[in-house]
A and B are shown apart, each in its own frame.
Chain A
Amino acid sequence: MTVQIKQAAGALPDDNGHFGPYGGRFVAETLMVPLRELQEAYDKYLSDDDFLNELDEDLRQFVGRPSPLYLAERWSAQLGGAQIYLKREDLNHTGAHKVNNTVGQALLAKRMGKTRIIAETGAGQHGVATATVAARLGLKCVVYMGAVDIARQAVNVYRMKLLGAEVVSVASGSKTLKDALNEAMRDWVTNIDDTFYIIGTVAGPHPYPAMVRDFQAIIGREARAQILDQAGRLPDALVACVGGGSNAIGLFYPFLDDSDVAVYGVEAAGHGLETGRHAAPLCAGRPGVLHGNRTYLMEDDNGQIIETHSISAGLDYPGVGPEHAWLKDAGRAQYVAISDDEALAAFHNLTRVEGIMPALESSHALAYAGKLASTMARDQIIVVNLSGRGDKDIHTVAALEGIKV
Chain B
Amino acid sequence: MGRITNCFERLKNAGRQALIPYVTAGDPAPAVSVPLMHAMVAAGADIIELGVPFSDPMADGPVIQRAAERALMQGTSLRDVLAMVAEFRRQDTGTPVVLMGYLNPVEVMGYDTFAKAAAGVGVDGVISVDLPPEEAHGLLTALRGQAIDPIFLLAPTTDDIRIEKICAVASGYVYYVALKGVTGAAGLDVQSVADKLAQIGRHTGLPVAVGFGIKDADAAATVAKVADAVVVGSSLVKKIEQNAGQSDRIIREIADVLARMRVAMDA
Closest chain-B Cβ to A112's Cβ sits at a distance in Å of 15
Known: A29-B155, A186-B58, A294-B107. 4 other contacts (CB 8 A): A26-B135, A172-B69, A290-B56, A303-B106
B55, B130, B153: which contacts A304 (Cβ < 8 A)? Answer: B55
Question: How far is A186 from B61 in the complex, measured between Cα atoms in Å?
Answer: 8
The residues of A that contact B61 with a CB separation of less than 8 Å are: 186
A288 contacts B177, CB within 8 Å? no
Q: Which residue of B lies closest to A292 (CB)?
A: B130
Binary A-proximity of B46-73 (CB < 8 A = 1, otherwise 0): 0000000011111111100110010010
A304 contacts B72, CB within 8 Å? yes
- A-binding segment of B7-15, B179-187, B217-225, B239-247: B179-187
B62, B102, B103, B107: which contacts A172 (Cβ < 8 A)? Answer: B62
- B166 on the interface (CB 8 Å rule)? yes
- A392 on the interface (CB 8 Å rule)? no
Question: How far is A182 from B129 in the complex, measured between Cα atoms in Å?
Answer: 14
Q: Which residue of A lies closest to B76 (CB)?
A: A302
Q: How many A residues have CB within 8 A of the partner chain?
A: 38
Closest chain-B Cβ to A295's Cβ sits at a distance in Å of 11
- B248 on the interface (CB 8 Å rule)? no
B78 contacts A302, CB within 8 Å? yes
A30, A173, A305: which contacts B156 (Cβ < 8 A)? Answer: A30
Interface of A: prevailing SS: mixed
Closest chain-B Cβ to A244's Cβ sits at a distance in Å of 15
B65 contacts A302, CB within 8 Å? no
Closest chain-B Cβ to A193's Cβ sits at a distance in Å of 8
Binary A-proximity of B173-198 (CB < 8 A = 1, otherwise 0): 00001001110010000000000000
Which 7 residue pairs spanning A and B have beta carbons closest together? A303-B108, A303-B105, A30-B155, A302-B77, A190-B181, A29-B153, A28-B59
- A-binding segment of B16-24, B157-165, B259-267: B157-165
- B131 on the interface (CB 8 Å rule)? yes
* Given A192-B157, A288-B107, CB of A173 within 8 Å of CB of B135: no
A27 contacts B181, CB within 8 Å? no
B134 contacts A25, CB within 8 Å? yes
The residues of B that contact A277 with a CB separation of less than 8 Å are: none
Question: How far is A288 from B56 in the complex, measured between Cα atoms in Å?
Answer: 13
Closest chain-A Cβ to B184's Cβ sits at a distance in Å of 11
Question: How far is A306 from B54 in the complex, measured between Cα atoms in Å?
Answer: 11
The residues of A that contact B58 with a CB separation of less than 8 Å are: 27-28, 182, 185-186, 291
- B79 on the interface (CB 8 Å rule)? yes
The residues of B that contact A32 with a CB separation of less than 8 Å are: 132, 155, 157-158, 162
The residues of A that contact B156 with a CB separation of less than 8 Å are: 30
A303 contacts B104, CB within 8 Å? yes
Closest chain-A Cβ to B150's Cβ sits at a distance in Å of 13
Closest chain-A Cβ to B79's Cβ sits at a distance in Å of 7
- A1 on the interface (CB 8 Å rule)? no
B56 contacts A29, CB within 8 Å? no
- A289 on the interface (CB 8 Å rule)? yes
Closest chain-B Cβ to A352's Cβ sits at a distance in Å of 41
- A351 on the interface (CB 8 Å rule)? no
Please provide the chain A residues from 1 to 46 with a CB less than 8 Å away from any CB of chain B in the complex: 16, 24-34
A34 contacts B108, CB within 8 Å? no
Sample of 17 A–B contacts (CB below 8 Å)? A26-B135, A28-B130, A29-B166, A32-B132, A32-B162, A33-B157, A172-B62, A172-B65, A173-B65, A186-B58, A189-B182, A191-B180, A289-B130, A294-B107, A304-B77, A304-B104, A304-B105
A34 contacts B157, CB within 8 Å? yes
B109 contacts A24, CB within 8 Å? no
Binary A-proximity of B116-134 (CB < 8 A = 1, otherwise 0): 0000000000000111101
* Given A302-B108, A303-B105, CB of A27 within 8 Å of CB of B55: no
- B88 on the interface (CB 8 Å rule)? no
B103 contacts A291, CB within 8 Å? no
Question: How far is A182 from B56 in the complex, measured between Cα atoms in Å?
Answer: 7
